[in-house]
Structure 1
């Protein structure tokens, strides 16, 4: 089978057939009528600032989508935070990009939602390590999209191996409960020792310590078993058995310290959201966050024509005319007509992405990450 999992192929996206049917009907109608006006279209989530910032990402895929097409595209930078107004603007003949709208919005909406949720987790514990553990909750075909969005938002790593190969980053992770099950209750030490002997030296020795016995007992056994080779213990206690997770983590920390294992770190995972991370950040050293990221709502972007043949136009409820957006001196987000002066000390955020089909911007994941974290500080992002 050439497509065993029924995944929409890249060719369909680039050709414009990964689209909603009514765009095909639109093309048929406009070609029949001999109409193909020059338009300016903008992608927005909110027309005016709402005071609630979100992370913009996915723009690298949009650049690929428009490469080779006779249009000009401007967009925010990868990792930029925004609040109202356009995040992306297209100018060209409408039929040059009409069918691309569906894929364009998909490339932006879901990754931006993932990145915004990941940023909430990142800022919940700025001094702790946080990893993305959510790839198992999405279709495998978009695992790298999840993990890239998490990295843009400042997370320290992720767990998905294939995504790591795409992104040029090594996936992280140590052991699941299944490994302990395969050795059986009472043989946890054998499992940890086998792991220590089998895996490469650069893999952290973090023992899962909540499989058969209580967290304190297994944590102490892991410390006694691996000694100085143990980097940390992971507490992945299920919500149905957890009780007061903070108390459990504090107890583990206390008992490890009391026996001289103060250099053994505590890593927590299992359905954690930013509130849970905040409650644990002073007693844990690291976190795995999954469903909070992958369960995030997509940013509700839409694309609307705002100018046609040089004249402003809009549907009801949307704002006509070509617009620019600015970061103001006080960290605000300002929307204005492009024909009008921007605010004093305002920095325009829309920058050239594609010019007559040529991608004119380079993409750097580390630069996007730095931009996201810096901008979050400037605008006072708190989720």
Structure 2
């Protein structure tokens, strides 16, 4: 069976069959009428800047989607933050990309949501280790999408093995509760010892210490069992049993230190959100974040034609330049005309018509992505991460929402 899990194959996406049915109806209608106008279309979430920033990513997949198509595309750089206006612009004959709209928006919307949520977690504990543990909450086919978004937002690592193979990064993680159950209550020391003996030397010795007894007792037993080989303990206490989780972590820290185990780190996981991370970041050394990232709302991107060229029904007609011959158009509630997004030195995000002068000291953000069907941009995850974190600082990401 070639596709046992019922996922849409890559060839269907590239061929435009991963689309909404009404785009097929549109193609049939336009071809019947002999129409194929030259258009400029823009992808936006909000028309005007809102002050509530989100992370833009997924653009590498968009470039792959449009490779070989007779279009020009400009887009924000991977990892750029935005709060309104265009994030991507397409110019070309409409039938070159009509049926790709559904996949295009999907490639941008969900990864951008993941990355935005991951950035919230990252900035909740800037000096701590923060790992992505959420792949189990999404379809396995998009696990690498989740983990890449997490890395782009500055997280230190992730747990999914196959995603690591795709991203050329080593997946991390130590032991689940299932391992502890297999050894049984009272045999926790045997489980940790067997783990220490079995796994490669470079694997951190992080003992899970909340399975059968209270967190303090198991943490002290792990320290006694593994001694100097113990790198840390992980506390994954379910929310129904936590009470004051901060107090539990402080108590474990106190008792470890009192017995000379100051070098043993404490890692927390299990339903963590930015608020709880901020509450714990001064008493814990690291965090595993899952559902906050994978449960993030997708960014509500839409694609709209904003300019259409008169007399360009012939698909062989030459490409017009944005703003030279096109007529601005828009549906009600959207803004017509080709637009540009700018970042100013004070971190402001501005939107203006592309053929008008931008704001003083404004840097235009849309950059070439595809020209005549050829990808003209290289993608570097580390550079995107640097851009994301720097831009988050520039725009004071999250500060306005926190203030509200």
Of 308, 327, 333, 2:349 maps to: 333
SS at match of 1:362: coil
Cα drift, residue 72 of structure 1: 0.1
> 2:118 matched to which residue of 1?
118
Residue 141 in 1 paired to residue 141 in 2?
Answer: yes
The equivalences for 1:175-214 within 5 A come to 175-214=175-214
> 1:38 matched to which residue of 2?
38
What is the alpha-carbon distance in structure 1 between the residues aligned to residue 96 and residue 161 of structure 2? 37
Residue 266 in 1 paired to residue 282 in 2?
Answer: no
What is the alpha-carbon distance in structure 2 between the residues aligned to residue 124 and residue 158 of structure 1? 17
What is the alpha-carbon distance in structure 1 between the residues aligned to residue 125 and residue 367 of structure 2? 32
Q: Deviations over 1:248-292 (max 9, x none)?
A: 000000000000000000000000000000000000000000000
Q: Deviations over 1:306-341 (max 9, x none)?
A: 000011000000000000000012101000000101
> 2:366 matched to which residue of 1?
350
> 2:109 matched to which residue of 1?
109
> 1:61 matched to which residue of 2?
61
> 2:339 matched to which residue of 1?
323
Cα drift, residue 305 of structure 1: 0.1
What is the alpha-carbon distance in structure 2 between the residues aligned to residue 265 and residue 378 of structure 1? 32
> 1:378 matched to which residue of 2?
394
Cα drift, residue 103 of structure 1: 0.1
SS at match of 1:336: strand
Residue 297 in 1 paired to residue 313 in 2?
Answer: no
Q: RMSD of the TM alignment (CA)? A: 0.5
What is the alpha-carbon distance in structure 1 between the residues aligned to residue 108 and residue 227 of structure 2? 47
User: Any gaps of 5 or more consecutive residues in structure 2?
Assistant: 310-325
What is the alpha-carbon distance in structure 1 between the residues aligned to residue 361 and residue 67 of structure 2? 33
Q: Deviations over 1:183-233 (max 9, x none)?
A: 000000000000000000111000000000000000000000000000000
What is the alpha-carbon distance in structure 1 between the residues aligned to residue 386 and residue 230 of structure 2? 32
SS at match of 2:49: coil
What is the alpha-carbon distance in structure 2 between the residues aligned to residue 221 and residue 55 of structure 1? 43
**Normalising by the residue count of structure 1, what TM-score does the alignment of the two structures yield?**
1.00
What is the alpha-carbon distance in structure 1 between the residues aligned to residue 102 and residue 344 of structure 2? 32
What is the alpha-carbon distance in structure 1 between the residues aligned to residue 106 and residue 74 of structure 2? 18
What is the alpha-carbon distance in structure 2 between the residues aligned to residue 331 and residue 374 of structure 1? 10
What is the alpha-carbon distance in structure 2 between the residues aligned to residue 244 and residue 9 of structure 1? 47
**Normalising by the residue count of structure 2, what TM-score does the alignment of the two structures yield?**
0.94
How many pairs are equivalent?
Answer: 383
